[in-house]
């Protein structure tokens, strides 16, 4: 068994608001990680918007035989969700400067080049790039492609545009290992909900898809503004996972409790005080802004691995086992506040399925 990180020689050329030509991924092993690198040249001004470096891809899909989506993200600038998901998991920062000192809070004015890295790690151990708790069985497939749809060229800056760009691809593979029995494979889909009103006490219900393991629910919550939709924490303020047929629930938390749990479970460390120079006496009053860099507004991962049932032989790495259930047996109840037209919530269902039996051993 060999492990390899492979750069794909084919690249995609930026074109605004376009479905780019699909790029073939290698099919000689089990793919354990996929990296998309956006190399972008843009004109940035003092009005560059928040998340500007993350907004360059609208839809992201990794598609195999029969249209099976191993990663299926479609909606509103889904590279933001993939970026934040990867950063919380510990897959590294998204932005890589060109060395000219691009500042996140106040981007360079004028023509600037930057690189944004978006990583998809299907396994449950993000610190191991060759983690086989879940993988794409590429060696047993007849086709496997990455498909991107880009955003408008004005997406980074209200008064500047993207003038050029390319997308490059890299994969981590395990070679020389036939598809093992019981290998978990990723499957996921996106739901975009445009808010219609305020709802109290977790009363807006969304059907949770069944038929697979649900490892996590990833939510990007947006407040509509005059310029762009912006992530904010006071739109969806509570989440409940309900079982309407039995009248009970497995989780009920406010958005702040969810975000604290996200930080704890994914090992994100931050302190909202002691903000003076290293070694200085801590006399500065705690300020919420001091921890914003590690507690992203309007974004939360609900980790469901703790709800696995190991006593039934279910690995705690896979999450909530919804294979025996039908869609609608579990519902996601939301508390929605401060409603205004244009507010929305984008949800990615991070699911896993055992590999198809006909692929085992190939």
Contact in structure between 167 and 149 (CB atoms under 8 Å):
no
Residue 50 confidence (pLDDT): 84
| For range 118-144, the mean pLDDT | 96
Does pLDDT of 105 surpass 80?
A: no
Does pLDDT of 358 surpass 50?
A: yes
Does pLDDT of 325 surpass 60?
A: yes
3-state DSSP call for residue 337? coil
Residue 99 confidence (pLDDT): 56
Q: Looking at domain 1-180, which of 2.70.9.30, 3.40.190.10, 2.40.50.140, 2.60.40.60 is its CATH number?
A: 2.70.9.30
pLDDT tens-digit series, residues 220-269: 999 987 678 889 999 999 999 999 999 999 999 999 999 999 988 888 77
Residue 109 confidence (pLDDT): 74
Separation between Cα atoms, residue 125 and residue 207, nearest integer Å: 28
Residue 310 confidence (pLDDT): 72
Q: Provide, rounded to the nearest whole percent, the portion of the chain with pLDDT above 90.
A: 71
Residue 190 confidence (pLDDT): 95
Separation between Cα atoms, residue 85 and residue 81, nearest integer Å: 6
pLDDT tens-digit series, residues 22-74: 999 999 999 999 999 999 998 888 778 888 889 999 999 999 999 999 999 99
DSSP classification of residue 357:
G
Domain boundaries, the chain: 1-180, 190-356
186 Cβ partners below 8 Å, 6+ apart? 70, 71, 122, 134, 136, 350, 351, 352
Q: Looking at domain 190-356, which of 2.60.120.20, 3.20.20.150, 1.10.10.10, 1.10.3720.10 is its CATH number?
A: 2.60.120.20
Token pair of 116, please? Answer: 């944004």
């Amino acid at each position: 068994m060999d492990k390899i990180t492979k750069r794909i020689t084919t690249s995609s050329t930026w074109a605004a608001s376009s479905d780019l030509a699909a790029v073939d991924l290698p099919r000689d092993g089990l793919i354990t990680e996929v990296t998309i690198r956006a190399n972008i040249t843009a004109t940035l001004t003092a009005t560059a918007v928040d998340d500007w470096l993350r907004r360059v891809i609208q839809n992201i899909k990794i598609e195999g035989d029969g249209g099976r989506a191993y990663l299926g993200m479609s909606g509103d600038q889904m590279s933001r969700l993939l970026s934040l998901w990867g950063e919380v998991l510990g897959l590294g920062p998204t932005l890589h400067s060109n060395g000219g000192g691009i500042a996140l809070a106040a981007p360079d004015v004028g023509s600037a080049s930057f690189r944004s890295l978006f990583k998809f790690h299907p396994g449950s151990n993000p610190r191991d790039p060759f983690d086989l708790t879940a993988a794409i069985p590429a060696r047993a497939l007849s086709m496997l492609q990455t498909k991107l749809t880009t955003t408008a060229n004005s997406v980074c800056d209200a008064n500047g545009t993207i003038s050029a760009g390319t997308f490059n691809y890299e994969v981590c593979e395990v070679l020389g290992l036939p598809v093992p029995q019981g290998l978990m494979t990723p499957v996921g889909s996106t739901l975009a909900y445009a808010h219609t009103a305020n709802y109290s006490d977790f009363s807006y219900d969304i059907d949770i898809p069944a038929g697979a393991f649900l490892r996590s629910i990833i939510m990007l919550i947006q407040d509509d503004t005059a310029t762009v939709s912006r992530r904010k924490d006071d739109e969806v303020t509570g989440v409940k996972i309900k079982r309407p047929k039995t009248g009970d629930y497995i989780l009920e938390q406010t958005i702040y409790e969810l975000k604290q749990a996200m930080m704890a479970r994914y090992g994100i460390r931050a302190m909202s005080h002691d903000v003076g120079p290293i070694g200085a006496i801590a006399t500065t009053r705690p300020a919420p802004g001091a921890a914003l860099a590690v507690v992203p507004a309007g974004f939360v991962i609900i980790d469901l691995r703790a709800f696995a049932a190991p006593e039934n032989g279910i690995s705690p790495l896979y999450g909530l086992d919804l294979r025996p259930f039908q869609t609608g047996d579990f519902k996601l109840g939301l508390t929605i506040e401060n409603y205004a037209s244009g507010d929305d919530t984008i949800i990615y269902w991070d699911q896993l399925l055992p590999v198809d039996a006909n692929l085992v051993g190939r």
